[in-house]
Amino acid sequence: MTRRGAAGLFAAVAVVAARAVLADERAVYRAAGPDAGLFDHYDNDGYSLAVSPRSDGSLELSVRVSGGPLESRAPFPPEGLRDAALAASPERDVFARALAGGAATQAEAVERVLSGVASAVRYDPDRHRRQDPASVFSSRRAHCVGISELAVDLLRRVAIPARTVQGILRSKPGSDGYDARIGGVYHRWIEIYYPDRGFVFSDPSSSINAVDARYVPFGRRALERPRDLTVIAVEASGRLDFPVRRLPEATLRVRPAGGSR
């Protein structure tokens, strides 16, 4: 093989390797304390959390996030009826239908609704502000709980099943709500059901159809903030490379759907 041919081969291998690194994002954490029991194995489309006990009584949390597209072609509107348990709200009905109107697939409808929420609601760290969907829709201000609650409410109004998720989000010191014991914040995001893919994570304040490896969900509901939990980072690798949508009030990373990038 000539030097030029060898150089070309090595360059091609480097490109493939770089793409492989970008394809998935991984992180390993160590959780300790009585409240570490909130973590459990968690899998949905594009996200996996494996929980392994250690000899010292702590838990190893291994997160893997796929950088691949959301392989869903579920049509919109869906065939099922919307959730009959929703509280009556003609205003939110109209708003949700206007956001999702014209979408041909569920993924497109989800992107429109979550982009609408990110554009309409400003982050407000006030923990005394009510976070139910009606209050958030009226004030257009909320922290992560209210933003997620409103997003779920609006999705369900256009017959897209969704639910909120509790967990932690690793973040930088100084960020709102930062707790040094977990190296981040206690956070709320959402999970959306696709009939051909199952559940898929989204964070209405930052991402659509995916979250990154800084997100670690609880396996069960915490009725109050954990009092005795420590989480430390052990290692991290890879980097997601999803397109970015810039809105006046937010920047969202959007996992492509339908197998296209």
248 vs 198, higher pLDDT: 198
Q: Does pLDDT of 133 surpass 60?
A: yes
- 12 within some domain: yes
Q: Does pLDDT of 231 surpass 60?
A: yes
- 206 within some domain: yes
Task: Tell me what the pLDDT averaged over the chain comes to.
Answer: 90
- 197 within some domain: yes
- Of the listed ranges 80-89, 197-206, 234-243, the least confidently predicted one is 80-89
Q: Write the pLDDT tens digit of every residue in 83-94.
A: 888 999 999 999
Count of domains observed in the chain: 1
Confidence of residue 17 (pLDDT cuts 50, 70, 90): very low
- Of the listed ranges 77-86, 174-183, 209-218, 252-261, the least confidently predicted one is 252-261
Q: What does the pLDDT read at residue 220?
A: 85
- Tell me the percentage of the chain whose pLDDT exceeds 70: 90
- 190 within some domain: yes
- Of the listed ranges 33-37, 67-71, 217-221, the least confidently predicted one is 217-221
Q: What does the pLDDT read at residue 180?
A: 97
Q: Does pLDDT of 232 surpass 80?
A: yes
- 261 within some domain: no
Span 131-140, mean pLDDT? Answer: 97
Span 48-71, mean pLDDT? Answer: 97
**HEC secondary structure over the chain:** CCHHHHHHHHHHHHHHHHHHHHHEEEEEEEEECHHHHHCCCEEECCEEEEEEECCCCCEEEEEEEECCCECCCCECCCCCCCCCCCCCCHHHHHHHHHHHCCCCEHHHHHHHHHHHHHHHCEECCCCCCCCCHHHHHHHCEECHHHHHHHHHHHHHHCCCCEEEEEEEEECCCCCCCCECCCCEEEEEEEEEEECCCEEEEEECCCEECCCCCCEEECCCCCCCCCCCCEEEEEEEECCCCCCEEECCCCEEEECCECCCC
Q: Does pLDDT of 18 surpass 80?
A: no
For residue 69, give its domain range.
Answer: 3-254
Confidence of residue 16 (pLDDT cuts 50, 70, 90): very low
List 89's β-bridge partners, or say none.
Answer: none
Q: What does the pLDDT read at residue 12?
A: 38
- 259 within some domain: no
- 260 within some domain: no
